[in-house]
Amino acid sequence: MAKSKINLAAQPQAIEAEQAVLGSMLISKDAVSKSLQWLPASNYFYKDAHAKIFSCMIDLFDKGDPIDAISVVDQLKKKKELKSVGGAYYITGLSESVPTTANVEHYAKIVLEKYILRNLIEVSHEVTKNAFDDSQYVGDILDDAESKIFNITEKRLRGEGFSHIDPILHRTFEELDKIASKPGSVTGVASGLMDLDDITSGFHSGELIIVAGRPGMGKTALALTMGRNAAVLENTGIGLFSLEMANHQLAMRLLCAEGRVDSHLVRTGKLPKNQLKNLSLAVGQLAEAPIYLDDTPGMSVLEIRAKSRRLKAEKDIGLIIVDYLQLMSGPKGAESRQQEISQISRSLKNLAKEIEVPIIALSQLSRAVENRSDRRPQLSDLRESGAIEQDADVVIFLYRPWVYSQEDEDRGKSEIIVAKQRNGPIGLVEATFIDRFARFENMAAFNATVEDENVFNA
């Protein structure tokens, strides 16, 4: 960020902390590694002289040369910058002014915080300037501001680096103890589809689950079914971001699925009076469920991240669903849509880890599926969509043969294909899709009720 645009004297700075970091690096190899973890570039330093000194240290570090007062002075001489930083006397003074290197990380974090604050001031200055420019579209101004804030946030989230395994083992054992105390084999958030849960053992904290398929396969219906099952049957809080459908449309689909009512009859006002009771009962059931909907269109990664954090803090949700990934907007500046999708999927994975809940993100597939005789999706169909396959812990494909065959014998059949699972097996399970209810059911449960009614024909 350029310093000349605003009053330099007013900018956040910590000259003493910068001196302590540089002095520690001149004394200790460990201090060099610890400092670079938090301060990866010279522009993190406010004082130009300190930035030049740090840049020389990075050069020496990259070459594997020792970092001490003599080496740094020599490097500055080669760059003809020794005089501008205060001479050799200033360099030696840095190391002599540090009583101990034990606090170098603390000082490095202070330098980082001041750098972030300067970045925020610079961005706010630019946003204010753009806001006064009548020639700019307000949406572009917001996108630009959001992108810049997102970039600053990423700098803050550098992480604490290595942790000793001892406390990690204790936390892991506590989790295992909780898992062991649960009845059955489902240790995560249950989808309610038993055969699928047998393979995944539920969706687990920090996982990114991609549910992908061609249009018309029922991705939204599957997501709503899994979300409904978790909320109604397990009382798990659900946050559902719908970038495609409005909240009232989602509510209608949930109601019809819950009440086993034909959605077409509801929309056309032809629902028999005796089925209104089913809808009324469904309203009562769903109204008590911890389901939270957000239908803001074109949401960005930053918006979903902020809203998810707040929802987690306020409602302690256990599952997030995003419908669907390709309708999100990524950080500005991506060179291609593929790169933008990659940034979005990586951000969703980071969010899942950060707030410790599983995230189900729906995804479209390329038309390449249509060009094969066997139209079941494959992981290669997902690779055209950036780094989704890499970021996902679980990849689930949805395939309904009836979409292509239109044969009565295929109606209702659906295949849920677990094509990737980072911590478990892959496999294919069958479920039943009742299209007029937009509802997925366990095959066994469906077979038990099919004798009593024809679920496919009104």
Residue 373's pLDDT is what? 74
Proportion of the chain above pLDDT 70, given as a percent: 84
And the tokens for 198?
Answer: 């047998």
The C-alpha atoms of residue 268 and residue 173 are separated, in whole angstroms, by 55
Residue 53's pLDDT is what? 93
Residue 452's pLDDT is what? 44
Cα angle for residues 186, 356, 185 (degrees, 5° grid): 5
Task: Choose among 369, 401, 337, 352: nearest CA to 212.
Answer: 369
* Domain chopping of the chain, boundaries: 8-156, 178-449
- Whether the predicted pLDDT of 445 surpasses 60: no
**Using one digit for the tens of pLDDT, what is the confidence trace for 80-102?**
999 999 998 999 899 888 888 88
Kindly report the number of other CB atoms within 10 A of residue 72's CB atom. Answer: 28
And the tokens for 436?
Answer: 């007029």
Residue 7's pLDDT is what? 56
Residue 47's pLDDT is what? 92
CATH architecture designation of domain 178-449: 3-Layer(aba) Sandwich (3.40)
Confidence of residue 73 (pLDDT cuts 50, 70, 90): very high
Buried b (16+ CB within 10 A) or exposed e, 352-383: beebebbbbbbbbbeeebeeeeeeebeeebbe
Confidence of residue 322 (pLDDT cuts 50, 70, 90): very high
Question: How many CA atoms lie within 13 Å of 166's alpha carbon, on the beta-carbon side?
Answer: 1
**H helical segments located in 190-317:** 194-200, 219-228, 234, 247-259, 263-267, 273-287, 301-315
Confidence of residue 457 (pLDDT cuts 50, 70, 90): very low
Bigger pLDDT: 248 or 359? 359
Residue 331's pLDDT is what? 65
**Using one digit for the tens of pLDDT, what is the confidence trace for 124-136?**
888 888 888 888 8
Residue 455's pLDDT is what? 45
**Using one digit for the tens of pLDDT, what is the confidence trace for 97-124?**
888 888 898 999 999 999 999 988 988 8
**Using one digit for the tens of pLDDT, what is the confidence trace for 150-182?**
777 766 655 555 566 767 666 766 766 766 666
Tell me the mean pLDDT in the region 313-330: 86
CATH of domain 8-156: 1.10.860.10
And the tokens for 112?
Answer: 């980082």
Instruction: Give the mean pLDDT of the chain.
Output: 81
Task: Check: pTM over 0.85? Answer yes or no.
Answer: no
Confidence of residue 210 (pLDDT cuts 50, 70, 90): very high
Confidence of residue 239 (pLDDT cuts 50, 70, 90): very high
- Whether the predicted pLDDT of 8 surpasses 60: no
Question: How many CA atoms lie within 13 Å of 38's alpha carbon, on the beta-carbon side?
Answer: 21
Helix pair 48-63, 29-38: axis angle to 10 deg: 120
And the tokens for 102?
Answer: 């034990």
Q: Are 47 and 82 in contact (CB under 8 A)?
A: no
Tell me the mean pLDDT in the region 391-416: 80
Bigger pLDDT: 118 or 410? 118
Confidence of residue 444 (pLDDT cuts 50, 70, 90): low
Q: Exactly one of 113, 126, 234, 244 is catalytic; which is it?
A: 244
Bigger pLDDT: 189 or 375? 189
Residue 49's pLDDT is what? 93
Tell me the mean pLDDT in the region 253-262: 82
Residue 155's pLDDT is what? 64
Flag the least confident range among 30-39, 248-257, 406-415: 406-415
Amino acid at 344: I
Residue 374's pLDDT is what? 76
Could you give the C-alpha distances from 90 to 73, 87, 95, 440, 447, in angstroms and in order? 10, 6, 9, 72, 83
Known catalytic residue at 244: yes
The C-alpha atoms of residue 89 and residue 1 are separated, in whole angstroms, by 29
Q: Nearest 5°: phi and psi at 359? A: -120, 125
Q: Are 58 and 42 in contact (CB under 8 A)?
A: yes
